[in-house]
Amino acid sequence: NLKHIEKKHTILITEEGKNGTFVGRSENYKPVVIKENIDIGEFVPIKVIDAASTYLVGSII
């Protein structure tokens, strides 16, 4: 997942995460956690800022 850092994706917000985060899926179905409050079902452009073993962390651009 580290190879995705600094890359840009458009994700579909699919669910609420923990602690006020939201989870979306990239075009290759990787989960991306964002801190911004976005409605479920919205497509948003993000930049990957961090990565864990099972998900990416993004920020809206």
**What value does the mean pLDDT take over residues 11-32?**
96
According to DSSP, the β-strands at 56-60 and 31-34 are: parallel
What's the pLDDT score for residue 1?
Answer: 83
Any bridge partners for residue 8, and if so which? 47
CATH number at residue 26: 2.40.50.140
Kindly list the distances between the CA atom of residue 12 and the CA atoms of 15, 29, 39, 44, in Å, as whole numbers in the listed order.
Answer: 9, 9, 10, 7
The tally of CA atoms less than 13 A away on the side-chain side of residue 18 is 0
Number of domains in the chain: 1
Any bridge partners for residue 56, and if so which? 32, 51
Give residue 55's domain range. 2-60
What's the pLDDT score for residue 44?
Answer: 97
**What value does the mean pLDDT take over residues 23-37?**
95
What's the pLDDT score for residue 31?
Answer: 97
Any bridge partners for residue 57, and if so which? 33, 50
Q: Categorize the per-residue pLDDT at 30 as very low, low, confident or very high, splitting at 50, 70 and 90.
A: very high
